[in-house]
Amino acid sequence: MRPTKGSDVLFFHTFGTKWIVLHSFSSATELLERRGSLYADRPRFVMFEEMGWAPTLTWLRWGPRRFSVAIVLKIAYGLDVDGPQSPWIKLAEDSSEAVGKSGAPASSIMDRFPAARYLPSWLPFMERLRYARTWRPAIEAITRLPFDAAIKLMNAEKAEESFVQSRMKIWFENSRQGCPNRFSLEDIKGAAATILIAGNDTTAATVMLLVLYLMQNQEVQRKAQEEIERIVGKHRLPSWNDIPKLRYTNLVLQETYRINPLSPLGIPHASIADDVYNGMFIPKGTIVYPNVWAMMHDPKVYSDPFRFWPDRYLPKEEGGNGEPLPIGHFGFGRRICIGKYLAENSLLIILATMLATMNIDWPLGPDGQPTPFEPEWSFRGQAIVLPFGISITSRSEKAMAALNEEIDALQT
């Protein structure tokens, strides 16, 4: 995935579609950040339209509708998950599976030739269309059912404050007074579904990666645990107030972002006007992929880039290399993930809690000894590690008691 001709920008033209792949932080920052207004659009994702994803924020084309939805996007539905058998969990899992197996955005024959969506799905080269139509009910359900449940709670005057509740109050009031609404019901449904799917999918996948790299790198795990003991102690769990002080723990998360970005090619942008970069002409409508994987593994930026080493970000006087923190794993420019800070803080508190309460090691073999193995991966659209075995032991009775108290409090 690295460029082979010495350029950090690769341009090619196929079947009437113009493509650019950006291989460096400098080109991605210049085009997608500094010139963000020119590259804020998305290409048309016909495959995802067939799956029923069209209304969601991530895939919306640039314009006033997308901007209005982005401003108001916060919390989704205000619904509770009543245990592991909750229907909301099943809905989220189904939609996550649909996304994970649908392939990279804008990569299907339908994205290249939109009219292909009208071909018979039984044709041998229309496997992606068959897949889209198979999973469409699940995608439509995740957009519709939680929304309907939130409206039902509103009608019963039992709704808690949420994104849907606050937006629908405004929508109903404007409709009652005959005033125009800045966003439609489909905008609200799609924005709420984006919160649910994006948050659930990426958080779970990143936690799996954190567990994997802590298991594989025991010295990193011990160093992070020592930091937590020094700052938090052993008598309680890490709190939100502790997070800014847990410097090395944060670097463990940053290194996880870098070594295995979940979306190796990001989500493509599209140029809304002609542009020129370093003497290269970029026509309007060009699809732009940020090659996040190449950026994160650039040996000019990161020494020994395939080594999991959080210390690389520390200053040289502290034993590190002073290398820059990774960027791009949450997107670039005006299409950056607006849930970035919520996701990052959630992952940090999860990571800190794991480190404070448990030791994570290789699974035990028949002889009772840790048995290393090579994990298996899925690379359809996202780079996700498949489920694997581990060995977990409690770090202390006090830590586990504190954890059990927190769990009991959440369940009451």
| Binding site residue list for heme | 337
Return d(Cα 335, Cα 346) in angstroms, integer: 21
Query: By three-state DSSP, how is residue 275 classified?
Result: strand
Written as six digits, the tokens of 248 are 């090395």
Asked if residues 277 and 31 have their Cβ atoms less than 8 Å apart, the reply is yes
CA quadruple 396, 401, 407, 412: dihedral, nearest 10: 180
The bridge status of strand 17-22 relative to strand 9-14 is antiparallel
Written as six digits, the tokens of 13 are 């033209």
The residue among 99, 236, 76, 239 whose CA lies nearest residue 165 is 76
Which helix (H) or strand (E) segment holds residue 170: the answer is: helix 163-177
Return d(Cα 58, Cα 54) in angstroms, integer: 9
Q: Annotated binding residues, as ranges?
A: 337
DSSP letter at 33 equals: I
Asked if residues 92 and 142 have their Cβ atoms less than 8 Å apart, the reply is yes
Contacts made by residues 240-246, CB under 8 angstroms, sequence distance 24+? 240/345, 240/349, 242/352, 243/345, 243/348, 243/349, 243/352, 246/348, 246/352
Asked if residues 199 and 339 have their Cβ atoms less than 8 Å apart, the reply is yes
Q: Which residues contact 203 (CB under 8 A, 6 or more apart)?
A: 343, 346, 347, 350
Asked if residues 69 and 191 have their Cβ atoms less than 8 Å apart, the reply is yes
Backbone torsions φ then ψ of 41, nearest 5 degrees: -85, 165
Asked if residues 312 and 254 have their Cβ atoms less than 8 Å apart, the reply is no
